Chains A and B, each alone.
Chain A
Amino acid sequence: AQSVTQPDIHITVSEGASLELRCNYSYGATPYLFWYVQSPGQGLQLLLKYFSGDTLVQGIKGFEAEFKRSQSSFNLRKPSVHWSDAAEYFCAVGEDYGGSQGNLIFGKGTKLSVKP
Protein backbone atom coordinates (compact mmCIF):
# COMPACT_ATOMS: atom_id res chain seq x y z
CA ALA A 1 0.00 0.00 0.00
CA GLN A 2 1.08 3.52 -0.67
CA SER A 3 2.27 5.64 2.23
CA VAL A 4 3.78 9.02 2.97
CA THR A 5 6.19 9.77 5.80
CA GLN A 6 7.01 13.22 7.09
CA PRO A 7 9.71 12.54 9.68
CA ASP A 8 9.60 15.95 11.34
CA ILE A 9 6.52 16.74 13.42
CA HIS A 10 7.62 20.27 14.31
CA ILE A 11 10.38 22.51 12.95
CA THR A 12 11.40 25.98 14.11
CA VAL A 13 13.48 28.26 11.90
CA SER A 14 14.51 31.88 12.15
CA GLU A 15 13.00 34.40 9.78
CA GLY A 16 15.24 34.74 6.75
CA ALA A 17 16.78 31.30 7.18
CA SER A 18 16.43 28.54 4.63
CA LEU A 19 13.93 25.74 5.05
CA GLU A 20 13.72 22.11 4.01
CA LEU A 21 10.80 19.89 4.94
CA ARG A 22 11.24 16.19 4.33
CA CYS A 23 8.82 13.81 2.67
CA ASN A 24 9.33 10.15 1.78
CA TYR A 25 6.79 8.05 -0.05
CA SER A 26 6.17 4.42 -0.84
CA TYR A 27 4.72 3.77 -4.30
CA GLY A 28 5.44 1.24 -7.02
CA ALA A 29 5.04 3.35 -10.14
CA THR A 30 5.80 6.99 -10.86
CA PRO A 31 3.89 8.84 -8.18
CA TYR A 32 1.79 11.94 -8.32
CA LEU A 33 3.23 14.12 -5.53
CA PHE A 34 1.85 17.18 -3.81
CA TRP A 35 2.66 19.66 -1.07
CA TYR A 36 -0.16 21.47 0.70
CA VAL A 37 -0.09 24.20 3.36
CA GLN A 38 -2.66 24.75 6.10
CA SER A 39 -2.78 27.99 8.03
CA PRO A 40 -4.52 27.96 11.41
CA GLY A 41 -8.28 27.68 11.05
CA GLN A 42 -8.07 27.26 7.29
CA GLY A 43 -8.43 24.50 4.74
CA LEU A 44 -5.49 23.05 2.84
CA GLN A 45 -4.03 25.01 -0.07
CA LEU A 46 -1.89 23.52 -2.82
CA LEU A 47 1.72 24.76 -2.89
CA LEU A 48 3.00 22.65 -5.78
CA LYS A 49 2.70 19.30 -7.49
CA TYR A 50 4.80 16.87 -9.50
CA PHE A 51 3.41 14.52 -12.12
CA SER A 52 6.29 14.04 -14.57
CA GLY A 53 9.09 15.89 -16.36
CA ASP A 54 11.51 18.23 -14.64
CA THR A 55 12.19 16.89 -11.17
CA LEU A 56 12.53 20.37 -9.66
CA VAL A 57 9.13 22.01 -9.44
CA GLN A 58 8.30 25.56 -8.49
CA GLY A 59 5.26 26.50 -6.48
CA ILE A 60 3.54 29.47 -5.00
CA LYS A 61 4.97 31.70 -2.26
CA GLY A 62 8.57 30.99 -3.32
CA PHE A 63 8.50 27.28 -2.51
CA GLU A 64 10.11 24.55 -4.58
CA ALA A 65 10.39 20.79 -4.28
CA GLU A 66 12.66 18.19 -5.82
CA PHE A 67 11.57 14.67 -6.76
CA LYS A 68 14.33 12.11 -6.20
CA ARG A 69 13.24 8.68 -7.36
CA SER A 70 16.35 6.94 -5.99
CA GLN A 71 15.57 8.23 -2.51
CA SER A 72 11.76 8.07 -2.78
CA SER A 73 11.73 11.64 -1.59
CA PHE A 74 9.96 14.87 -2.43
CA ASN A 75 11.42 17.48 -0.10
CA LEU A 76 10.05 21.01 0.09
CA ARG A 77 12.44 23.96 0.20
CA LYS A 78 12.42 27.70 0.52
CA PRO A 79 15.59 29.82 0.50
CA SER A 80 14.37 32.48 2.91
CA VAL A 81 11.48 31.97 5.31
CA HIS A 82 9.03 34.73 6.14
CA TRP A 83 7.01 34.96 9.36
CA SER A 84 3.85 34.40 7.31
CA ASP A 85 5.11 30.92 6.35
CA ALA A 86 4.31 29.65 9.83
CA ALA A 87 1.75 26.92 9.18
CA GLU A 88 1.39 23.18 8.86
CA TYR A 89 2.68 21.50 5.72
CA PHE A 90 1.38 18.26 4.28
CA CYS A 91 2.97 16.02 1.68
CA ALA A 92 0.65 13.76 -0.34
CA VAL A 93 0.95 11.02 -2.95
CA GLY A 94 -1.71 10.17 -5.48
CA GLU A 95 -3.19 6.74 -6.03
CA ASP A 96 -4.02 5.82 -9.59
CA TYR A 97 -7.06 3.60 -10.00
CA GLY A 98 -6.02 2.58 -13.50
CA GLY A 99 -7.16 5.70 -15.31
CA SER A 100 -10.06 6.69 -13.11
CA GLN A 101 -9.90 9.46 -10.56
CA GLY A 102 -7.71 8.43 -7.68
CA ASN A 103 -7.32 9.47 -4.10
CA LEU A 104 -4.49 11.28 -2.30
CA ILE A 105 -2.67 9.78 0.67
CA PHE A 106 -1.55 12.49 3.09
CA GLY A 107 1.36 12.49 5.49
CA LYS A 108 0.89 13.44 9.15
CA GLY A 109 2.12 16.96 8.54
CA THR A 110 5.03 19.13 9.72
CA LYS A 111 4.28 22.19 11.77
CA LEU A 112 6.56 25.11 10.98
CA SER A 113 7.22 27.84 13.51
CA VAL A 114 9.17 30.97 12.54
CA LYS A 115 11.28 32.90 15.06
CA PRO A 116 11.63 36.65 14.60
Chain B
Amino acid sequence: DAGVIQSPRHEVTEMGQEVTLRCKPISGHNSLFWYRQTMMRGLELLIYFNNNVPIDDSGMPEDRFSAKMPNASFSTLKIQPSEPRDSAVYFCASSFGLAPDTQYFGPGTRLTVL
Protein backbone atom coordinates (compact mmCIF):
# COMPACT_ATOMS: atom_id res chain seq x y z
CA ASP B 1 0.00 0.00 0.00
CA ALA B 2 1.17 3.52 -0.72
CA GLY B 3 2.23 5.49 2.28
CA VAL B 4 1.99 9.24 2.73
CA ILE B 5 3.13 10.94 -0.44
CA GLN B 6 4.79 14.35 -0.42
CA SER B 7 5.91 16.51 -3.29
CA PRO B 8 8.28 17.89 -4.18
CA ARG B 9 11.03 16.06 -2.28
CA HIS B 10 13.39 18.97 -2.66
CA GLU B 11 12.66 22.63 -3.31
CA VAL B 12 15.14 25.43 -3.78
CA THR B 13 13.74 28.91 -4.16
CA GLU B 14 14.69 32.51 -3.71
CA MET B 15 13.57 34.76 -0.92
CA GLY B 16 10.22 36.35 -1.64
CA GLN B 17 8.92 33.56 -3.85
CA GLU B 18 5.80 31.54 -3.13
CA VAL B 19 6.33 27.92 -2.14
CA THR B 20 3.65 25.23 -2.17
CA LEU B 21 4.19 21.85 -0.56
CA ARG B 22 1.80 18.99 -1.26
CA CYS B 23 0.68 15.96 0.66
CA LYS B 24 -1.49 12.95 -0.09
CA PRO B 25 -2.41 11.07 3.11
CA ILE B 26 -2.98 7.35 3.38
CA SER B 27 -6.40 6.45 2.04
CA GLY B 28 -8.98 6.18 4.82
CA HIS B 29 -7.05 8.24 7.33
CA ASN B 30 -9.04 11.11 8.83
CA SER B 31 -6.32 13.24 10.38
CA LEU B 32 -3.44 15.05 8.73
CA PHE B 33 -0.51 16.84 10.32
CA TRP B 34 2.12 19.23 8.98
CA TYR B 35 5.46 19.39 10.83
CA ARG B 36 8.64 21.35 10.36
CA GLN B 37 12.04 19.97 11.41
CA THR B 38 15.19 22.03 11.91
CA MET B 39 18.41 21.39 13.79
CA MET B 40 17.74 24.28 16.15
CA ARG B 41 14.08 23.70 16.97
CA GLY B 42 13.60 19.99 16.34
CA LEU B 43 10.21 18.70 15.18
CA GLU B 44 7.44 21.30 15.41
CA LEU B 45 3.76 20.78 14.69
CA LEU B 46 2.50 23.50 12.37
CA ILE B 47 -1.14 22.55 11.85
CA TYR B 48 -3.44 19.59 12.29
CA PHE B 49 -6.63 18.69 10.39
CA ASN B 50 -9.34 16.26 11.38
CA ASN B 51 -11.94 15.29 8.76
CA ASN B 52 -10.55 18.08 6.54
CA VAL B 53 -11.17 20.74 9.19
CA PRO B 54 -8.25 22.61 10.80
CA ILE B 55 -8.24 21.76 14.51
CA ASP B 56 -5.09 23.45 15.75
CA ASP B 57 -3.02 25.94 13.79
CA SER B 58 -1.25 27.50 16.75
CA GLY B 59 2.07 26.27 15.44
CA MET B 60 1.87 28.18 12.18
CA PRO B 61 4.71 30.70 12.50
CA GLU B 62 2.99 33.73 10.99
CA ASP B 63 0.60 34.89 8.34
CA ARG B 64 3.04 33.97 5.62
CA PHE B 65 2.12 30.34 6.22
CA SER B 66 -1.23 28.87 5.20
CA ALA B 67 -2.55 25.33 4.87
CA LYS B 68 -5.59 23.85 3.21
CA MET B 69 -7.22 20.47 2.97
CA PRO B 70 -9.87 20.69 0.27
CA ASN B 71 -10.66 16.97 0.44
CA ALA B 72 -9.68 13.83 2.29
CA SER B 73 -6.90 12.94 -0.12
CA PHE B 74 -4.99 16.19 -0.54
CA SER B 75 -3.44 18.98 1.50
CA THR B 76 -1.17 21.90 0.76
CA LEU B 77 1.14 24.05 2.85
CA LYS B 78 1.93 27.41 1.30
CA ILE B 79 4.56 29.94 2.25
CA GLN B 80 4.21 33.39 0.72
CA PRO B 81 6.57 35.18 0.69
CA SER B 82 9.31 32.75 1.63
CA GLU B 83 12.31 33.76 3.76
CA PRO B 84 15.68 32.08 4.38
CA ARG B 85 14.62 31.19 7.94
CA ASP B 86 11.89 28.99 6.47
CA SER B 87 14.56 26.57 5.25
CA ALA B 88 13.77 23.22 6.88
CA VAL B 89 12.41 19.77 6.21
CA TYR B 90 8.62 19.76 6.15
CA PHE B 91 6.83 16.52 6.99
CA CYS B 92 3.27 15.51 6.44
CA ALA B 93 1.75 12.72 8.52
CA SER B 94 -1.64 11.05 8.63
CA SER B 95 -3.51 8.87 11.09
CA PHE B 96 -6.86 7.19 11.67
CA GLY B 97 -9.05 6.73 14.71
CA LEU B 98 -10.89 8.46 17.49
CA ALA B 99 -7.99 8.76 19.88
CA PRO B 100 -4.29 9.64 19.56
CA ASP B 101 -2.90 6.93 17.34
CA THR B 102 0.04 6.11 15.15
CA GLN B 103 0.99 8.88 12.77
CA TYR B 104 2.43 7.71 9.47
CA PHE B 105 5.01 10.11 8.13
CA GLY B 106 5.84 10.98 4.58
CA PRO B 107 9.43 11.23 3.36
CA GLY B 108 9.48 15.00 3.79
CA THR B 109 10.21 18.01 1.59
CA ARG B 110 13.58 19.66 2.04
CA LEU B 111 13.07 23.38 1.46
CA THR B 112 15.97 25.74 0.89
CA VAL B 113 15.26 29.44 0.60
CA LEU B 114 18.21 31.43 -0.74
Residues of A within 8 A of B (CB): 32, 34, 36, 42-46, 49, 51, 90, 94-97, 99-104, 106, 108-109
Contact = CB atoms under 8 A, between A and B. Distances in A.
Contacts of B101: 32, 94, 101
A103 B88 CA distance: 21
Contacts of A101: 30-31, 50, 55, 95, 97-101
Contacts, number: 64
A103 B4 CA distance: 17
B98 A100 contact: yes
Interface residues of B, number: 26
A109 B100 contact: no
B14 interface: no
Nearest to A106: B43
A100 B43 contact: no
